[in-house]
Every structure is written in C-alpha cells, then in structure tokens.
Structure 1
Amino acid sequence: MATHSLQKTSAISLDKVAGTAPDLIDMYKDAETSLRESDRLGGRAAVYLVIDRSLSMTDFFNDGSVQRLSDQILSLSAHLDDDGKVPVGFFSTEMHTIARGGLLRRPQALVDVKLGAHQGRIGQLHNSLGTMGGTRYRPAMEAVLAHYRSSRAYKRGTPAFVVFQTDGAPQDAPATRDFLRSTQGENVRWQFVPFGEAEAFGVLSGLPGNTGVSAVGSDPLALSNAELYNRLVSGLPRA
C-alpha cells in the first residue's frame, strides 16, 4: 500500500486530542511511540474497526474489552487520519445494520465513532442491535470494502487499514479466503485481532499477503496499549 505523506507528523496533534478526548492521551502517546519506532509515523490510512458480535463475545462486551479496543483504535487513527473518527461495524451471522435518527435516514452497516463522543459508545451500539449470532466474516468484509470504495480516502488513493476483531474461526472459511484473495489488488490491509485461544484461529494462517494477525489472547484487558500497537502497526506501510 502506498502512502502519500512526506512529513513524519501525526494527522491530529496531541493538543487537539487533549482538548477533545483527554482520556485517550496515554493511548495516543503509546501509539505514537510504536509508529515512530517502526518508522511509520507520518503515514496515512483510513482506519476501520470491525467487531465480532457472536454470542461467545458476551463476556468481552461486558468486561469492557471491546470498548477499550475501540478507544485504542481511535487513538491510533488520530495519527493516521485527520477526520477524528473511525467507521465501526458489527457482525455475527450477517452484518448488523445500525439505525440512524430521522425518518428518512436508512440504517447503515458502519457508523462513525468520534473523538470526544467515544465514551461508552460501543456498549450503546451493541445494546441497540438485538440478538447475537454466529460467526461469518465475509458479509462484514464486503460491507467494509463497499464503504471504502465510496469514500474520499479511496478517491485520494489513501489505503484502508481494517482492524478485524473476532473471537472465533469463521463458519464461512472458504468464502472468507476467496474474498481475501479477490481483494489483493485493493489498497486494503485486513489486520485480524483475535480474542481468545490461539488454536481457534488456524484458519487465519496462510492467508494472502494483504492480511495480518495480531492476537491478544484470552484476557485483552491484560495486554498493554504499547504491546497491542507494536503488534498492529506491522501491518501499516512505512512512512
């Protein structure tokens, strides 16, 4: 994936983060350190977050693991994109659609989580979506790719960096592999973030070169921000 930034600076400054989302300052600083040490500070990307909403994810929603991941990704995105938001989607057996205010506004597959309006946002969205289901990756991937292709980032040639969180292997593994192979020509990086035991994710090995895996284990809250970022940024282009 190409990057168009020549300056090794963050898209959003620390001062702006401090004024808008002071609770994310430490995460922002940890993300900056990882980006700088890997020579990726100054790169630009449209960051997405996809969240598994299968029934087995219940405890991870309840203990705050998913909200924390969202905060971590929003903090990382502040270095990569100056819009201060991350499109977030939820999937289980199918992609969930999220209702929007107003009679004429259609439900959508992804909704923006924004700096300053992020606290508790994941729980709010999760609780609005009803029944949890199984685990099929491809519908979520199709929704993200459609969103990216219609975005300004796509038109500018800015790469998409998709953080794809899950706690189980997909029930549609062949369809998932086919889709990932078909997107190798796209300016998209699929970075999987498995919660849970490593042996459950053998399906993620041997995937095409536009994918990566950043496993966090069975207790995501025990993993430091710095360690998560060190694992994630390997999927980004160098600045």
Structure 2
Amino acid sequence: MATHSLQKTSAISLDKVAGTAPDLIDMYKDAETSLRRSDRLGGRAAVYLVIDRSRSMADFFTDGSVQRLSDQILSLSAHLDDDGKVPVGFFSTEMHTITRGRILRRPQAFVDVELGAHQGRIAQLHNSLGRMGGTHYRPAMEAVRAHYRASRAYKVGTPAFVVFQTDGAPQDAPATRDFLRSTQGENMRWQFVPFGEAGWFRFLHTLPGNTGVSAVGSDPLALSNAELYDRLVAGLPHA
C-alpha cells in the first residue's frame, strides 16, 4: 500500500507552485503530507471555497483569518485540480455577486482566486461587496450547485469538494437541511469549516451524510496548516 501511494502524483507540481506562489510552498507541502498519510494523494476534485460574510465575521476578515484559509484551500487544491484556481464565493443573507467586465458588466456568484494572484485577494473582494448581513446557507449552496453543474468537472465526473466556511448556524436551517438532502445523489461533498466556539455548530453535525465538519476554533490563525489539512482531507474520497 505504501509503495502504491508514493507513486501517486499531485495535479500541480511543487516546482510550479514555487515558480508562481512561493509563499504557499509550506502549505502545499503540509497538504501533501496529509493527503499521502490518508492515501488520498493522486485523487482529483473540483474545489470550491464559500465564505460567510455575516456581520459577526468582521473580525475574521480584519485579522487575516479568512485570507489564510483561502491560501490554505488554494494550496490544497493544487494537489487536486490542475488549473491553479479555486472558485470563491461570499454569502450572508443572500449570495453576494461580483460584477466583472468593463463593457458587459455581468454579476457572478464566484470569482477565481489563482496561484500567483492570491495575496490580499480576499480583502480586495470583501471590501468591494458592501454591507454584511445575516446567515443563510441555502442561497450559497444553490449557487455552488449551479456553478458545478455548468462546469467541465461535472461533465467528466470529477467530484466537487466544497469548503463551506461559517461562524454561525443558519437562519434558514430547515431549507438548508432539505437542500443538502436533495444533493445526496450528486457527486458533491460539503465540508464545513466553522470558526468560533463549539457550542453553536451542533447543527452541522445533524446534517445528511454528504457533509463533514472541520472545526478550527475561535482563533483560526492559531491552528497549524497540518492540523487543518488532516481534518479537511478526511472528507475527500480515496484516490
């Protein structure tokens, strides 16, 4: 088994990461260690990052916790997807939309965060989105499914691995639970990354079987890359 695992390769090589995003080398290596240890190195997935932009998240944007999570997910995705990008979306009461293009200004739910163009990207996007709101999961989940169903990954059968960050239980809990039940037959895995004290996210442990929880505590910056990756990769399918 060990010999077989060593032969499995990442979607993007360390050399390419070093050439485009040298500040992510340590995260990339830590992600590789977790993937190899769990025999998931060599697997492929379309990775999404969904970020809570409710009012209680303000301090986590200010202290860099959200940017760091984005960097960590981008580094993990480099092992799972060869395009060097992660579609990132923000939600609060509704799914936020980001307007792109100078002539045909088209609002979209996701924007790609790319290797080499990732530094400070979360703050830039966050600051462009205006007022923060409440906490409704379902609009964000519907946006993920729509994006995934329109993607090449969906057409070729690559699973979606959705990292869903939040710091509070949803105000639309029944609708969230119903939606997740409806996705159980689809090739999607929802991995929640709750920020904050454990008491509030008991709800996440009541969700259907296509979900997982990778808690990071009240100080996400204090959790090592290695610990986060060990918790995240447990939700991936085996390579």
User: Do they superpose with TM above 0.5?
Assistant: yes
CA distance, structure 2, for counterparts of residue 235 and residue 102 of structure 1: 39
Aligned equivalent of 1:81? 81
Query: Is 1:27 matched with 2:36?
Result: no
Q: What one-letter code is carried by the residue in structure 2 that aligns with 1:28?
A: Y
Q: What one-letter code is carried by the residue in structure 2 that aligns with 1:79?
A: H
Aligned equivalent of 1:196? 196
CA distance, structure 2, for counterparts of residue 93 and residue 233 of structure 1: 29
3-state DSSP of counterpart to 1:27:
helix
Deviation of 1:101 after TM superposition, in Å, equals 2.5
Q: What one-letter code is carried by the residue in structure 1 that aligns with 2:197?
A: E
Aligned equivalent of 1:231? 231
CA offsets per residue over residues 17-67 of structure 1, 9 Å max, x none? 000000000000000000000000000000000000000000000000000
Query: Is 1:115 matched with 2:115?
Result: yes
CA distance, structure 2, for counterparts of residue 206 and residue 151 of structure 1: 30
CA offsets per residue over residues 181-206 of structure 1, 9 Å max, x none? 00000100000000001110111112
CA distance, structure 2, for counterparts of residue 103 and residue 133 of structure 1: 29
Deviation of 1:111 after TM superposition, in Å, equals 0.4
Aligned equivalent of 1:125? 125
3-state DSSP of counterpart to 1:47:
strand
- Runs of 4+ with deviation above 2 angstroms: none
Aligned equivalent of 1:90? 90
Q: What one-letter code is carried by the residue in structure 2 that aligns with 1:109?
A: A
Identity of aligned residues (%): 89
Deviation of 1:172 after TM superposition, in Å, equals 0.2
Aligned equivalent of 1:218? 218
Aligned equivalent of 2:209? 209
Deviation of 1:105 after TM superposition, in Å, equals 3.2
Q: What one-letter code is carried by the residue in structure 1 that aligns with 2:159?
A: P
CA distance, structure 1, for counterparts of residue 105 and residue 147 of structure 2: 17
CA offsets per residue over residues 98-139 of structure 1, 9 Å max, x none? 011322130100000000000000000000000000000000
Q: What root-mean-square deviation, in Å, do the aligned CA atoms of Structure 1 and Structure 2 show?
A: 0.6
Aligned equivalent of 1:185? 185
Query: Is 1:11 matched with 2:2?
Result: no
CA distance, structure 2, for counterparts of residue 221 and residue 61 of structure 1: 12
Aligned equivalent of 1:3? none
Query: Is 1:156 matched with 2:168?
Result: no
TM-score (norm 2): 0.97
CA offsets per residue over residues 48-105 of structure 1, 9 Å max, x none? 0000000000000000000000000000000000000000000000000001132213
3-state DSSP of counterpart to 1:186:
coil
CA distance, structure 1, for counterparts of residue 90 and residue 179 of structure 2: 18
Deviation of 1:222 after TM superposition, in Å, equals 0.1
Q: Which runs of 5+ in 2 are unaligned?
A: 1-6
CA distance, structure 1, for counterparts of residue 99 and residue 122 of structure 2: 14
Aligned equivalent of 2:167? 167
